[in-house]
Chain A
Amino acid sequence: NAGVTQTPKFRILKIGQSMTLQCTQDMNHNYMYWYRQDPGMGLKLIYYSVGAGITDKGEVPNGYNVSRSTTEDFPLRLELAAPSQTSVYFCASSRTSGSYNEQFFGPGTRLTVL
């Protein structure tokens, strides 16, 4: 049981390049999330999904896209990378949306845009 896995661990992009951050969970969780964490700031929700085929915007969705074709996978797409997207990206999942429901995080992807 690997939990939540993310690839790649590190990536350097040039301005204007595109990439997809991969996220997979093997806990059969319906809910999945993408966050970014900037130095000295709390995690900010980018997008979330409540099940396969259903996604919605979080607090900071601009510049990103997501899809959820299966329960397990929730990739995050950056179309035109900008320096403001330099951050650490965490994917998370949870079993339900209940108020005491724990979110499980992946190890993160460190992205630098130059």
Chain B
Amino acid sequence: RKEVEQDPGPFNVPEGATVAFNCTYSNSASQSFFWYRQDCRKEPKLLMSVYSSGNEDGRFTAQLNRASQYISLLIRDSKLSDSATYLCVVFSGGYNKLIFGAGTRLAVHP
């Protein structure tokens, strides 16, 4: 079983739609969680951290469910510029050793 699993997609949605991605992780001792965004042929960039209480940043909401070992990302009012691959990332201790999921691809169309 992969340490971090994501549905690869693609999720094809129209502008203005709400879309949600889930990610599951296998290590119950994982300490912190992130969503990174990666545009086509570019480097990953931090989108947001995921806190235990859930957190929101504009149109983006991240949730953590430790009991079921999954995190989610909700994007409201999708924009064309949201088209990218979203990487679920888990920190399980050590020297900032991040475990990356393979990513979920989102394509927003007019």
A binding-site residues for B, Cβ under 8 Å: 31, 33, 35, 40-45, 48, 50, 56, 58, 90, 94, 96-103, 105-108
Contacts and interface: CB of A to CB of B under 8 A. Distances in A.
B50 to A, nearest CB: 10
Contacts, number: 55
Q: Looking at chain B, what size class is its interface with the partner chain?
A: 20 to 34
A99 B31 contact: yes
B71 interface: no
Nearest to A101: B96
10 contacts: A31-B96, A41-B102, A42-B87, A42-B99, A42-B102, A43-B87, A45-B97, A50-B95, A98-B96, A102-B46
B96 A97 contact: yes
B43 A106 contact: yes
Nearest to A108: B43
A100 B49 contact: yes
A58 B100 CA distance: 13
Nearest to B93: A99
Contact of A43 (B31, B41, B100): B100
Contacts of B49: 100
Interface of B: 2, 4, 8, 31-32, 41-46, 49, 87, 91, 93-103
Query: Majority SS of interface residues in chain A?
Result: loop
B44 A42 contact: no
Contacts of A43: 44, 87, 100
Contacts of A45: 97-98
Contacts of B46: 102-103
Contact of A97 (B45, B87, B95, B99): B95
Given A42-B102, A50-B95, A103-B98, 18 more contacts: A35-B100, A40-B8, A41-B102, A42-B99, A43-B87, A43-B100, A45-B97, A45-B98, A48-B97, A90-B44, A99-B31, A99-B32, A99-B91, A99-B93, A100-B49, A103-B46, A105-B43, A108-B43
